[in-house]
Amino acid sequence: AGVGGGDKPTVKGMKKSSTQKSLHDGTKKKQKKSLKKTNFFDQQIQVQPPDSLNFSVAAPLTPGGGWAPSIPAALVTLQNTSLKDMTMRAKAGVQAGDIQKEAHMAFCLGVLNEEKRHYKDSIKFYKRFFFCARLLDDPVGAALALNRLGVVYYNYGKLQKSLQFHAKHREFSDKENVFAALYNLGITHRKLANYAEAADYLSQGLEWVSQRQDTESECLIVGQLGLTFFQEKKYDQAMSHFMGCLEIAQRLGNTRLQLDSLLYLSKIANKQGDGNTTHGYLQQAYNASKNIGEAEIAQKCHCNMGIALGNVEFAKYKQQFTRIDFSDNEDEEEDQKSGS
């Protein structure tokens, strides 16, 4: 359930999250398309199931009874399967009493409904998947279900429910796989304006990645802490964390995450009344957005750069204006009044 660098599996071959998987600026069209639609700091970590066959078919004496029997093996086929086709297969019936097949079908329907943003149906099937995983004594599948339920409830706007399932996911995760739960709990608490709780969970996540020297996950969670402090109006701490996030993103070569960090840095500098620094960050954000084809963001950055320069010039004019000494004029006016 944790997020690790590279494509190496964590415990039981569980893959890294969908958020983490797209952390590098990829060359695939699907990755580039997703970068335009999402902000890294708005995404929760969605745990991905293992992509090997061992998790469900590695038990020759009991076929299909491997260490994660509730998770279907052929997840790749879902990419070419429509929700309608899968629903028809489900209605065609699964053998009575075949819990494993029911678990596989429930997971697939949960995924497909989630992709279509049919959140109510997705929740229903993920809950069924969790129930089947428990019957199969499959803690890996159960943890996967709890993570998916927490993410779906978050996207559905049911934040208290999201907290409940992310907390359960944390209980089901061992030390090597607890990062996703900590990360998601932090984001959900921040959404509820529980900033102290959010910072606490995110700090625990930062400690987790620091111990494992996981640079990619560190970059994400440092940015999440920055956003938490920003929303709490602790601008100095927010600035420090976003600068750290920017530095790591530059080392990773992730232009999208650099852009998100620069945009927040420009907002902080503007809040602090530093027009020149605001302009500098906007200039960098403009260049980054042009590099990844974000024309709309580039246009907004260009416009705000003009506003920032205008604010700088106005501040200079205001400063000069306040230096003018009107005392002599005031004395002359008083003399004229007394003389009259």
- For the segment 52-78, the average pLDDT, to the nearest whole number, is 57
- For the segment 163-179, the average pLDDT, to the nearest whole number, is 94
Angle at 312 between CA 310 and CA 315, to 5 degrees: 110
pLDDT value at position 161? Answer: 98
Among 11-25, 78-92, 264-278, the minimum mean pLDDT is found in 11-25
Above 50 in pLDDT, residue 327? yes
pLDDT value at position 312? Answer: 85
Among 18-32, 142-156, 216-230, 255-269, the minimum mean pLDDT is found in 18-32
- For the segment 271-284, the average pLDDT, to the nearest whole number, is 94
- Average pLDDT of the chain? 80
Among 47-51, 134-138, 328-332, the minimum mean pLDDT is found in 328-332
- The encoded tokens of residue 333 equal 């006016």
- The encoded tokens of residue 304 equal 């705000």
pLDDT value at position 54? Answer: 44
Query: Of 8, 44, 69, which is closest to residue 163 (Cα–Cα)?
Result: 44
pLDDT value at position 331? Answer: 57
pLDDT value at position 2? Answer: 34
Within 8 A by CB and 6+ apart from 42, the residues are: none
pTM here?
0.78
Q: At what angle do helices 215-231 and 179-191 cross, to 10 degrees?
A: 20
Q: Residue 48 — φ and ψ, nearest 5°?
A: -105, 140
Number of separate helices (H) and strands (E) present in the chain: 16, 0
- Higher confidence at residue 24 or residue 98? 98
